[in-house]
Amino acid sequence: MRSLDYDCLLNLVSELGCRLMESGAEIYRVEDSVHRLLQAYGVTTGEVFAIPNCVIVSVSIDDGRPLTRVRRVPSHGTDIDLLERYNALCRTLCVQTPPLHEALDALKNVPASRRTYSLPVLTGGYCLAGGAFCLFFGGTPRDAVCSALCAVVICLCLAVMDRMGTNQFFRTLVSATAASLLALGSAAVGVGENSDLIAIGALMLLMPGILFTTAMRDLMAGDTVSGVSKTVEALLIGCAIALGAGAALWLTHLVGR
């Protein structure tokens, strides 16, 4: 039977937990995946604790001494494709239990196989979604076209703010303000008909739906700290959207005086 390198095993499981969290996984999924991987390599004394910005893994080695890894998780969003790839790798590692250095290499190679989309493709997706949301809420075809343009502005603002390294609140605030200004302007010049529906169609793209759903799932699973943290984050994003729309209304009111 091969001897177990606990240091390498802790590096593997903590890295997996961190990457699952960065991909938008729920707390229970992160903890369960780490537990299963530890058990697959023969460790039954492992403990894992995860919150949205931290993963802690601890095991007891043969002589009873504890070893612990603490990983801080940076600010992140949700990448369903990447999350599924990490899940699939975890299941494979649990079944095959390859040497730990091979497992670490496989884990580090996962991002290279992820799907990535160019800015024009992302812009097209935002455009279609914005127009569709506007029609869904009762907008006219002209409103849908204007809402699609506002959605393009949101996409570009998010891309620029992301490259600047700004936080999510500020990115959302700037994007909501720009989109709302364009919505009000398009209705004012007669291109669009209903500025409210134009703005709503575009601003729906900023709503933290997945984040709020994950927060509710964590709360129902008993992960109160994580659930409350994500709920507050979702509410702050909602406040940023409201502040952005309010700022646009205030600016247009000043100009109209």
Name 237's Cβ contacts closer than 8 Å, sequence gap at least 6. Answer: 168, 169, 172, 206, 207, 208, 211
The Cα 86–Cα 143 span in angstroms is: 41
CA distance 255 to 257: 6
- Measure the N-to-C terminal CA separation of the chain; round to a whole number of Å: 82
Digitized pLDDT (tens) for each residue of the chain, 257 residues in all: 356 788 899 999 999 999 999 888 888 889 999 999 999 988 888 889 988 889 999 988 877 788 899 999 887 778 888 999 999 999 999 998 899 999 999 998 988 877 788 889 999 999 999 999 999 999 899 999 999 999 999 999 999 988 888 888 999 999 999 999 999 999 888 888 898 999 999 999 999 888 888 888 888 888 888 889 889 989 999 999 999 999 998 988 887 65
Residue 75, both tokens: 């600010």
Q: In Å, what is the CA distance from 153 to each residue of 117, 131, 137, 148, 179?
A: 17, 13, 20, 9, 6
Sheet holding 54-60, edge to edge: 47-51, 54-60, 66-72
Token digits of residue 222: 């008993």
Helix H, strand E, coil C: the string for 34-98 is HHHHHHHCCCCCCEEEEECCEEEEEEECCCCCEEEEEEECCCCCCCHHHHHHHHHHHHHHHHHCC
**Full-model pTM:** 0.82
* Cα distance between residue 98 and residue 89, in whole Å: 12
CB 227 within 8 A of CB 218: yes
- Measured from the Cβ of residue 168, the count of other Cβ atoms closer than 10 Å reads 20
CA-based nearest residue to 135, from 198, 188, 207: 198
Kindly state the tokens that stand for 208. Answer: 């933290």
